[in-house]
Chains A and B, each alone.
Chain A
Amino acid sequence: MMETSAANLRSAEERRSTDDRRSTDGTGPGGLERRQTEDRRGSVADRRSQNNLHLATFYANGEFFGIRVERVQEIILAQERTPVPKSDRIIRGLVNLRGQIVTAIDLRRVLGLPDLDDDQDHVNLILNFADGVDSLQVDEIGDVMEVSEQKIEPPPPSMTGIDKRFVEGVCKLDGKLLLILDVDRLTGRVD
């Protein structure tokens, strides 16, 4: 099992932890205030990085997506999946993650995008939840990006092709649009 972007993630991890130590309760705009975690409580404020989000980015069907980096435990290459007959379409199977059985969810199928042509090339983001981990299957992994919260806007009403329920915000970058996904919704933890 090879772990890609490990360096990226590690640096993200480091940055995040320094950020954690400095940032206040993130009371940013537009539905993004759900960032307070236990360790952040009572920490000292630092105005300069207060409103910056760290996002793990990736691609699916040519679209550019991001997930808050703290929700990502690790990234692994395509694994042998054990399909689960009769399960929901979005579930591609079960994966053995070092002895832990993880359910693999296909992002394309969740978002209603066409299946990847060569399914073998996908990458899995292992996402952390209070009740365990899930694996989110995407096409390709990108960098960890730091984005100012001021630049994040609610999804435009004109957005089509992707179910808006799963998009918690969009961020305009040079020439492309970064869609920030709500992993709790994606994985069916919040309706």
Chain B
Amino acid sequence: MEFDAELLKEFLNESWDNIEKMDNDFVELEKNSEDPEIITRIFRVIHTMKGCSGLLGFGKLEKISHYSEDILSQVREGSRKVDPPTITKLLEAADALKEILYQVEETSGEGDGDYSQLIEELRQIAASSDGSAAKAPPPATVQSSPPAETKTPADVGEANWQVTIRIDENEKMPTIRGLVVVERLAELGTVIEAIPDVRKDEELATNESLVVFLKSEMTAAEIETKAMLSSVVSVELEQLAEGQADEPSEPEESGEVESARAEHSESPAQSASAKSKVLTERVESSIRVDIDLIDKLMNLVGELVLSRNQIAQFANTFDNNLFTSATHRLNLVTTELQEGIMKTRMQPIANVFNRYPRMIRDLATDFGKQVDLRIEGKETELDRTLIEAIKDPMVHIIRNSMDHGIETPEKRIEAGKNPVGSMEIRAFHEGGQVNIVIRDDGAGINIPKVKALAIKKDLISQQHADSMSDRDAANLVFMAGFSTAEKVTAVSGRGVGMDVVRNNIEGIGGSIDLQSEMGKGTTITVKIPLTLAIIPALMVDNAGHTFAIPQVNLTELVCLEGNEIQKRIEMVRNVEVFRLRGELLPIVRLADVLDLPKRPNSEIDFLYIVVLSSGKGQIGLVVDQVFDTEEIVVKPLSKHLKHLAAYAGASILGDGSVALILDVQGIVESAGIEFDLDLEEARNAEANALDNLAKDDQQDILLFSIGSQDQYAIPLGLVNRLEEFDRSKVEVVSGREVVQYRGDILPLVHPEHFLSVSEMPEQKGLLSVIVFSFEEKFVGLIVNEILDIQQVRADFSQASVSEGGVLGNAIVNGKTTEFLDVYQLIEMALPSLVRKNSNTPQGTGRRVLVVDDSPFYRTMIVSYLHSAGFEAVEAAHGEEALQKMERIAVDLVLTDLEMPVMDGFELLENLNEQEVYKDIPTVVLTTVDQDSTRERARQLGVDSYLIKVDREELIHTVDRALKERVKS
């Protein structure tokens, strides 16, 4: 049997704890057999052990605890008296449990001990209805046979040794070799116990250690020499403390009797007592803490955070250095305390993940499928309650994937795939959330079939289905009342659909997204918050009310000014929409949702749109004012308010006032937004026009200044957040400037140190920082001033090679503007951050041909690839690409679709036609998100189809495409 080590450890820890307590309880029970509490306590321990051992497949443990439980249950119900024979038998059972647990701890197996007699006796007692143990054979308590191998009775000079012997794995007869060792050790003193007991013909498996408990007056060296035979790889000696092996647990026992018992292992319960003595003195390195206590501490820390916020606010109005510094200390200590407490609740996700290899193998066997499972990020930690909460949804997702996703080997071969399917489960932290990605290379979701089924089940209309994008259609599986299984199987069809999975995930403030490509596989991304108790939230105001919006739902903020409001908010069939980078975003006014007084657009100078995403779609929530983000403690609402879907709870703010926390999902629902029909229709009608726009190399860029004059830009897509920090908050850690940011350390980079710019002017006030996420870490770039966000059509010219950290420049607003290569800058400033991170694949010199007509995109992509260790070759169109490929061997082609001279499709066709290029993996990187183009790319055998340029996604995709080709 094979178990996961972590799970086993947990089981053993728990069992030892319980058993140790139970021993005491048994003693109590003998004294006071009427106390129902003691019986209940023992009953509970045995019951737990029965459950766990059954789960882990430990048959002997399960049987023994099962019948013991029966007996105890009768005692508890009062149908059986607690008489000495019963207790003796139960004690024997407890000893047997200990002995087996010991075996489990040592060998991960139950060992070869034969407990059938004990089990039978227990069964008989349990079955005897007269409530006495009289019918059971007399318990084998007294062993009178003389010790066979005892040389000398215990005397003062003797010590107890635990000798662990490892025998060469090439040894053909390890059991015989072990026996010889034991016999030799017996010459030195008394062998109390050998595990496995080779003298009793128990097998010593290859790679298994032989453990001998020896009582001897010899020195360690002498024992070691004696045991060191040929084929013995190592001998480990551990002297056991006085009394560990020779002080009997029951006072009437003597050392002599004990050694005698060791010879009678057919009475396992008793030989176990020798071992249990060793075990009871195990040193504890961890303690168990009641989860209620931790919850209480967590609540108190929450209160402390609130008080801290209040004091901090007060300190700002109070000009006293002593007070300020005391506040600062309070701040630090509170933050650390908060983190510390949170950590106590944190568990590695391995606790859930570790079950999967076994589960997936079992499922694979059931379905007759073959799967190669890859798990990454097991060490990712999150809150215990969340770990519990994702268990079931995860199992469901995996089962679904195994059932409907991965095909049978025959089908896979037919489809030209590796007969062994692959499944990848990856967990990682990102922006204060935990992401879990479950990816399989199975059949993917049959979009037309999903649509047809959804129509049949009246979930969507035919018209809607026609206009639906593939991605949206794939996500239909999350709709209530939907199940894609053609036939309901025992595994995934148990009346629980993916809608329940989504509800569960969203119930804990998470989100789930599904991407699928028919024939290629499915990727499910689950995002969940790190903890539920304290969350970052954006504070907004509407009609004088302050509300908190959980950060987890927040995508971005848009502010429209003056006449832009009229221009950019359009009406599509009575629904207000806003065009956000080509996507139509339904506008919801918080005032409407909450029946608050509304101001007409004409009276508004600035229109704040908070772009929110929920499982059901994206909305733009219009609020009057946007404030800062704050860490807030979530408090539930009383029963009077629970029915209001718009609120997720309430929180107390720094000034002591109460703010309501908005429930984004609830708002989407209560606003009655239908993410179909109208909008979809409109979206499609606009699609062509938008494609044309996209082709024009339009870029959203962030303009800012470094130094006094210079204007710099970066693509907005790279920016994670814009922040302002108090200069006093900047700390210097090992020569590097950092600030505390969202419970983490944010390293700050001074771009002027790496660029040739005029000196930064002496700055006062707040520090402007652009926050990037770089390989799952945040990095802040200090700038002089944030200037603007603009959509530009940059006439971009590439930088000369010499300028590190700069991609190139363009004229924006009549000014020469340098485009920064953020990743290169970060690499220059924080080389350790780059090298330390092993999560991102390393290109290790593989060569990628980047084909794109926009020099800007091309340069950016090349810089991404370089930063991950890939080599890159550039080409402006298909023809140039083909020319380059004649001269330079490349490992992968990454191409745009819309290009002059020869477009992407033509290039792909060309590559397919030529024998030499046919096996080179291809990735399409485009702004065109249309089903027709996707389909065409798919027919051309494209490995991946990417829409937006995100560094991590790009690198992972390229890496995956390369790896898969190598595998197949």
A residues at B contact (CB < 8 Å): 80, 82-88, 91, 93-96, 99-103, 105, 131-132, 134, 187-189
Contact B652 A85 (CB under 8 A): no
Q: Which of B638, B644, B650 has the most CB of A within 10 A?
A: B638
B residues at A contact (CB < 8 Å): 303, 306-307, 545-546, 594-596, 635, 637-641, 644, 646-647, 650-652, 656-660
**Which residue of the partner chain, among B595, B640, B660, contacts A82 with CB atoms under 8 Å?**
B660
Complex contacts, B307 vs chain A, CB 8 Å:
99
Contact A80 B657 (CB under 8 A): yes
**Which residue of the partner chain, among A83, A101, A131, contacts B652 with CB atoms under 8 Å?**
A101
Query: How far does the Cβ of A1 sit from chain B's closest Cβ, in whole Å?
Result: 10
Complex contacts, A95 vs chain B, CB 8 Å:
658
24 A-B pairs within 8 Å (CB atoms) are namely A82-B650, A82-B658, A82-B659, A84-B644, A84-B647, A84-B660, A85-B596, A87-B641, A91-B640, A91-B641, A93-B658, A96-B652, A96-B656, A99-B652, A100-B635, A101-B637, A101-B658, A103-B637, A103-B641, A132-B638, A134-B640, A187-B640, A188-B639, A188-B640
Contact B594 A82 (CB under 8 A): no
Complex contacts, B639 vs chain A, CB 8 Å:
131, 188-189
Complex contacts, A102 vs chain B, CB 8 Å:
638
Assuming the contacts A82-B657, A96-B652, A96-B658, asked whether A87 and B640 have C-beta atoms less than 8 A apart, the reply is: yes
Residue of A nearest to B656 (CB): A96
Residue of A nearest to B660 (CB): A84
Contact A105 B640 (CB under 8 A): yes
Question: What is the bound-complex CA distance between A20 and B210, given in angstroms?
Answer: 69
Residue of A nearest to B299 (CB): A99
**Which residue of the partner chain, among A83, A93, A99, A187, contacts B303 with CB atoms under 8 Å?**
A99
Query: How far does the Cβ of B35 sit from chain A's closest Cβ, in whole Å?
Result: 22
Q: Which of A82, A95, A102, A131 has the most CB of B within 10 A?
A: A82
Complex contacts, B652 vs chain A, CB 8 Å:
96, 99, 101
Complex contacts, B659 vs chain A, CB 8 Å:
82
Question: What is the bound-complex CA distance between A186 and B496, given in angstroms?
Answer: 40
Q: Which of A93, A101, A187 has the most CB of B within 10 A?
A: A101
Contact B646 A101 (CB under 8 A): no
Question: What is the bound-complex CA distance between A56 and B306, given in angstroms?
Answer: 33
Query: How far does the Cβ of A109 sit from chain B's closest Cβ, in whole Å?
Result: 12
Question: What is the bound-complex CA distance between A98 and B651, given in angstroms?
Answer: 12
**Which residue of the partner chain, among B546, B594, B637, B657, contacts A86 with CB atoms under 8 Å?**
B594
Question: What is the bound-complex CA distance between A105 and B652, given in angstroms?
Answer: 19
Complex contacts, A105 vs chain B, CB 8 Å:
640
Assuming the contacts A87-B640, A99-B303, A132-B638, asked whether A94 and B650 have C-beta atoms less than 8 A apart, the reply is: yes
Query: How far does the Cβ of B592 sit from chain A's closest Cβ, in whole Å?
Result: 11
Contact B657 A96 (CB under 8 A): yes
Question: What is the bound-complex CA distance between A23 and B546, given in angstroms?
Answer: 49
Question: What is the bound-complex CA distance between A101 and B548, given in angstroms?
Answer: 15
Complex contacts, B546 vs chain A, CB 8 Å:
82
Residue of A nearest to B649 (CB): A101
Question: What is the bound-complex CA distance between A87 and B642, given in angstroms?
Answer: 10
Query: How far does the Cβ of A17 sit from chain B's closest Cβ, in whole Å?
Result: 27
Query: How far does the Cβ of A160 sit from chain B's closest Cβ, in whole Å?
Result: 27
Complex contacts, A189 vs chain B, CB 8 Å:
639
Contact B657 A85 (CB under 8 A): no
Query: How far does the Cβ of B668 sit from chain A's closest Cβ, in whole Å?
Result: 16
Complex contacts, B660 vs chain A, CB 8 Å:
82, 84, 94
Query: How far does the Cβ of B599 sit from chain A's closest Cβ, in whole Å?
Result: 16
Complex contacts, B303 vs chain A, CB 8 Å:
99
Query: How far does the Cβ of B441 sit from chain A's closest Cβ, in whole Å?
Result: 48
Complex contacts, B646 vs chain A, CB 8 Å:
85-86
**Which residue of the partner chain, among B306, B640, B656, B657, contacts A103 with CB atoms under 8 Å?**
B640
5 further A-B pairs in the complex, CB-CB below 8 A; given A101-B650, A134-B638: A85-B545, A87-B640, A88-B640, A94-B658, A101-B635
Query: How far does the Cβ of B660 sit from chain A's closest Cβ, in whole Å?
Result: 6
Complex contacts, A103 vs chain B, CB 8 Å:
637-638, 640-641
Complex contacts, A87 vs chain B, CB 8 Å:
640-641, 644
Contact A85 B306 (CB under 8 A): no
Contact B641 A83 (CB under 8 A): no
Residue of B nearest to A189 (CB): B639
Complex contacts, B656 vs chain A, CB 8 Å:
96
Question: What is the bound-complex CA distance between A188 and B642, given in angstroms?
Answer: 13
Complex contacts, A188 vs chain B, CB 8 Å:
639-640
Question: What is the bound-complex CA distance between A84 and B594, given in angstroms?
Answer: 9
Complex contacts, B595 vs chain A, CB 8 Å:
85-86
Query: How far does the Cβ of A54 sit from chain B's closest Cβ, in whole Å?
Result: 26
Residue of A nearest to B639 (CB): A131
Complex contacts, B641 vs chain A, CB 8 Å:
84, 87, 91, 103
Query: How far does the Cβ of B306 sit from chain A's closest Cβ, in whole Å?
Result: 6
Question: What is the bound-complex CA distance between A80 and B647, given in angstroms?
Answer: 20
Question: What is the bound-complex CA distance between A102 and B639, given in angstroms?
Answer: 11
Question: What is the bound-complex CA distance between A105 and B640, given in angstroms?
Answer: 10
Question: What is the bound-complex CA distance between A84 and B307, given in angstroms?
Answer: 24
Residue of B nearest to A187 (CB): B640
Residue of B nearest to A83 (CB): B545
Residue of A nearest to B635 (CB): A101
Question: What is the bound-complex CA distance between A83 and B594, given in angstroms?
Answer: 11
Complex contacts, A187 vs chain B, CB 8 Å:
640
Question: What is the bound-complex CA distance between A101 and B658, given in angstroms?
Answer: 8
Question: What is the bound-complex CA distance between A96 and B660, given in angstroms?
Answer: 12
Question: What is the bound-complex CA distance between A189 and B650, given in angstroms?
Answer: 21
Query: How far does the Cβ of A92 sit from chain B's closest Cβ, in whole Å?
Result: 11
Q: Which of A95, A96, A102, A189 has the most CB of B within 10 A?
A: A96
Residue of A nearest to B650 (CB): A101
Residue of B nearest to A88 (CB): B640
Assuming the contacts A94-B658, A99-B303, A99-B306, asked whether A85 and B650 have C-beta atoms less than 8 A apart, the reply is: no
Query: How far does the Cβ of B375 sit from chain A's closest Cβ, in whole Å?
Result: 41
Residue of A nearest to B670 (CB): A86
Complex contacts, B637 vs chain A, CB 8 Å:
101, 103
Complex contacts, A93 vs chain B, CB 8 Å:
658
Complex contacts, B640 vs chain A, CB 8 Å:
87-88, 91, 103, 105, 134, 187-188
Residue of A nearest to B594 (CB): A85
Question: What is the bound-complex CA distance between A188 and B594, given in angstroms?
Answer: 23
Contact B658 A86 (CB under 8 A): no
Complex contacts, A100 vs chain B, CB 8 Å:
635
Question: What is the bound-complex CA distance between A100 and B647, given in angstroms?
Answer: 17
Complex contacts, A101 vs chain B, CB 8 Å:
635, 637-638, 650-652, 658
Complex contacts, B658 vs chain A, CB 8 Å:
82, 93-96, 101
Residue of B nearest to A102 (CB): B638
Question: What is the bound-complex CA distance between A96 and B546, given in angstroms?
Answer: 15
Question: What is the bound-complex CA distance between A187 and B639, given in angstroms?
Answer: 10
Question: What is the bound-complex CA distance between A94 and B647, given in angstroms?
Answer: 13
Question: What is the bound-complex CA distance between A87 and B658, given in angstroms?
Answer: 16
Question: What is the bound-complex CA distance between A129 and B657, given in angstroms?
Answer: 24
Complex contacts, B644 vs chain A, CB 8 Å:
84, 86-87
Query: How far does the Cβ of B301 sit from chain A's closest Cβ, in whole Å?
Result: 12
Question: What is the bound-complex CA distance between A93 and B650, given in angstroms?
Answer: 11
Query: How far does the Cβ of B812 sit from chain A's closest Cβ, in whole Å?
Result: 43
Complex contacts, B545 vs chain A, CB 8 Å:
82-83, 85
A-B complex: 5 closest residue pairs judged by Cβ atoms = A85-B594, A82-B658, A103-B638, A94-B658, A99-B303
